[in-house]
């Protein structure tokens, strides 16, 4: 099936082992790559994470851990869900921030599909791996970032970032989850501290206080985390006198846009917080390409207020590389914009057959994985001479790919309304070839250089090198990060292997030799 270690001897790759080098949770994500809006809960000695998925399917990736720093992908809460099937979400739409909780022996997940009918989607499962029930739409809740909490009587409250004129800011209502209906009208419980866009609320209890943790300032450089408290989950909530309690805005810290947090009590009675951040690089205004990632901080308590300890946790660099020969069911890492992978990707035992298809949102089928490293290399292998392609993508208006066309290789890029192609004059040699996209150290002030190459019997040759800023959030906009994967352009293609690994960035002088 899937080998977590790329093959030794592959040009440009390092062995994918856990580095002996320890990193700080303040500077390195515990879940790298496009994994925004983290939400966390604990059951006994295990911890569970969920993330936004936006236009990609399956929806809402789920992870489990016993140590908070080593996370295993356990599946997706909205895989095959009827409310997402056939959806037409684009890169700015789809499934926004979820909340994951465990109550009365079941996991509950609630989220917003901003491209679907108004309301919030809620589903539950007896275990994190599922089976997850088909989601129920809770109507009458116009907004995003829904949260669930239960009081001592078992009454559930839904708290959310409201779009309702009747309940602006952060709103709340009691809800019957089994019936999928509100028990009262939403009402405002907080308008934030005065910064823009109060959102991402989570209500939780510690001792005599109920706390409202929320983000504000927008999910860009001004992002921040604030908190308020009350004696009841209904409020009224008293804001922390020094809000926001955590932000990296207007600093030179290598992780920026920090916000949208969730908090958890650990098995030993201490507390921790997960939050999103980005790692921008390059010249002003700096560019981030892997999307909003999940970071970990400690939490102390001072006068019954949470105090963030950003660098409490240290851990080895997480594993990110993989090699897949598609000799079994598709690994859960594979996602696609707008179309379920199973609808166009068919493992054969000797590779995967990719069919050309188009999602309802207009995106061509792409069996993709999230990029997770500052610099990396992705290679896919096929015997085809036509219709095979490897694409690195931000959205349908910002991507680059190497494709096979009538026995030759071609590098292509699209930046908004502009497109460009570079054709290889040399015909493909031999019966097997590799299509390669590599992220290398930047040479022109961007976050990296994207190198597109082809490998055949005559060796590996570079087709094009482009500034990676054009595939960044600062250029493309939106909320997602890069993905990279395989596709078929005009007819079915068999890929025998795909591999992704971090690479050590070369110096400019090394590249120019």
- Read off the pLDDT of each residue in 391-409 and give the average, rounded to a whole number: 97
Q: Is the pLDDT of residue 86 over 80?
A: no
Whether residue 406 sits in one domain with residue 281: no
- Read off the pLDDT of each residue in 238-249 and give the average, rounded to a whole number: 97
Number of compact structural domains in the chain = 2
Longest dimension (CA), the chain: 73
The pLDDT value given to residue 434: 97
Which residue, among 417, 371, 372, 374, has the nearest Cα to 390 in the 3D structure? Answer: 371
- Read off the pLDDT of each residue in 323-350 and give the average, rounded to a whole number: 95
Mean of the per-residue pLDDT values of the chain? 93
Instruction: For residues 422 and 403, give the distance between their C-alpha atoms in angstroms, rounded to a whole number.
Output: 10
The pLDDT value given to residue 96: 97
The pLDDT value given to residue 4: 37
The answer to the question of residue 4 being in a domain is: no
Question: pLDDT-derived band of residue 511, with 50, 70 and 90 as boundaries?
Answer: very low
The pLDDT value given to residue 507: 39
pTM: 0.93
Question: In CATH, what number is assigned to the domain containing residue 436?
Answer: 2.60.120.200
- Read off the pLDDT of each residue in 456-477 and give the average, rounded to a whole number: 97
Question: pLDDT-derived band of residue 508, with 50, 70 and 90 as boundaries?
Answer: very low
The pLDDT value given to residue 21: 75
Residue 311 annotated as catalytic: no
- Read off the pLDDT of each residue in 379-396 and give the average, rounded to a whole number: 97
Which position has the higher pLDDT, 89 or 480?
A: 480
Whether residue 223 sits in one domain with residue 166: yes
Containing structural domain, residue 446: 322-512
End-to-end alpha carbon distance in the chain: 39
The pLDDT value given to residue 79: 95
Which pLDDT tens digit goes with each residue over 181-214?
Answer: 999 999 999 999 999 999 999 999 999 999 999 9
The answer to the question of residue 2 being in a domain is: no
The pLDDT value given to residue 466: 98
Question: In CATH, what number is assigned to the domain containing residue 248?
Answer: 2.115.10.20
Which position among 37, 55, 438, 474 bears the catalytic label?
37
Whether residue 436 sits in one domain with residue 328: yes
Which pLDDT tens digit goes with each residue over 119-171?
Answer: 999 999 999 999 999 999 999 999 999 999 999 999 999 999 999 999 999 99
Percent of the chain beyond pLDDT 70?
A: 94
The answer to the question of residue 6 being in a domain is: no
Beta strand residue intervals within 151-231, DSSP E: 156-162, 170-176, 181-182, 187-190, 199-206, 209-216, 224-230
Residue 129 annotated as catalytic: no
- What's the CA dihedral at 471, 476, 477, 480 to 10 degrees? -40
Structural domain ending residue among the three candidates 266, 292, 316: 316
User: 180-189, 217-226, 358-367, 433-442: lowest mean pLDDT where?
Assistant: 358-367
Which position among 16, 145, 147, 199 bears the catalytic label?
199
Q: Is the pLDDT of residue 98 over 60?
A: yes
- Read off the pLDDT of each residue in 29-49 and give the average, rounded to a whole number: 97
Q: How many helices and strands (H and E) does the chain possess?
A: 2, 41
Which pLDDT tens digit goes with each residue over 260-296?
Answer: 999 999 999 999 999 999 999 999 999 999 999 999 9
The pLDDT value given to residue 505: 55
| Beta carbons within 8 Å of 450's beta carbon, 6+ residues apart | 392, 400, 437, 438, 439, 440, 465, 466, 467, 468, 471
Structural domain ending residue among the three candidates 286, 316, 346: 316
Helices (H), 57-213: none
């Amino acid at each position: 099936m899937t080998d977590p270690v790329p093959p030794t001897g592959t040009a440009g790759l390092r062995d994918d082992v856990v580095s002996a080098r320890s990193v700080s949770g303040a500077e390195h994500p515990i879940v790298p790559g496009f994994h925004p809006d983290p939400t966390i809960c604990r059951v006994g000695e295990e911890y569970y994470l969920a993330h936004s998925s936006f236009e990609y399917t399956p929806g809402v990736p789920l992870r489990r851990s016993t140590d908070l720093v080593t996370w295993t992908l356990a599946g997706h809460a909205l895989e095959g869900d009827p409310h997402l099937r056939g959806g037409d979400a684009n890169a700015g739409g789809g499934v926004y921030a979820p909340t994951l909780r465990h109550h009365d022996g079941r996991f509950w997940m609630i989220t917003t599909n901003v491209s679907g009918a108004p309301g919030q989607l809620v589903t539950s499962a007896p275990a994190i791996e599922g089976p997850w029930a088909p989601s129920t739409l809770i109507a009458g809740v116009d907004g995003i970032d829904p949260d669930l909490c239960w009081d001592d009587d078992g009454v559930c409250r839904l708290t959310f970032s409201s779009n309702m004129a009747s309940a602006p800011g952060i709103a709340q209502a009691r809800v019957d989850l089994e019936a999928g209906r509100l028990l009262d009208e939403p009402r405002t419980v907080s308008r934030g501290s005065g910064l823009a866009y109060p959102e991402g609320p989570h209500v939780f209890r510690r001792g005599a206080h109920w706390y409202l943790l929320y983000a504000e300032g927008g999910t860009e450089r001004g992002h921040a985390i604030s908190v308020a408290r009350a004696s009841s989950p209904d409020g009224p909530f008293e804001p922390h006198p020094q809000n926001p309690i955590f932000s990296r805005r207007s600093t030179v810290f290598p992780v920026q846009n920090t916000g949208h947090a969730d908090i958890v009590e650990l098995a030993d009675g201490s507390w921790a917080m997960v939050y999103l951040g980005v790692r921008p690089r390059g010249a002003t205004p700096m560019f981030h390409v892997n999307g909003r990632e999940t970071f970990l901080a400690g939490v102390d308590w001072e006068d019954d207020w949470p105090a963030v300890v950003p660098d409490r946790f240290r851990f080895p660099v997480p594993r990110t590389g993989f090699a897949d020969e598609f000799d079994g069911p598709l690994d859960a890492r594979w996602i696609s914009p707008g179309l379920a992978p199973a609808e166009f990707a068919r493992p054969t035992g000797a590779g995967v057959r990719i069919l050309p298809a188009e999602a309802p949102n207009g995106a061509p089928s792409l069996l993709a994985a999230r990029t997770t490293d500052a610099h990396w290399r992705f290679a896919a292998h096929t015997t085809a001479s036509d219709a095979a392609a490897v694409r690195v993508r931000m959205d349908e208006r910002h991507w680059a790919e190497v494709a096979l066309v009538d026995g030759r290789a071609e590098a292509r890029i699209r930046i908004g309304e502009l497109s460009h192609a570079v054709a290889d004059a040399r015909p493909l040699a031999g019966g097997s070839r590799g299509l390669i996209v590599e992220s290398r150290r930047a040479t022109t002030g961007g976050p990296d250089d994207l190198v597109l190459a082809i490998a055949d019997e005559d060796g590996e040759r570079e087709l094009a090198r482009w500034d990676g800023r054009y595939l960044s959030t600062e250029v493309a906009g939106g909320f997602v990060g890069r993905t990279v994967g395989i596709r078929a352009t005009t007819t079915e293609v068999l890929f025998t292997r795909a591999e992704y690994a971090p690479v050590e960035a070369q110096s400019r002088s090394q590249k120019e030799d």
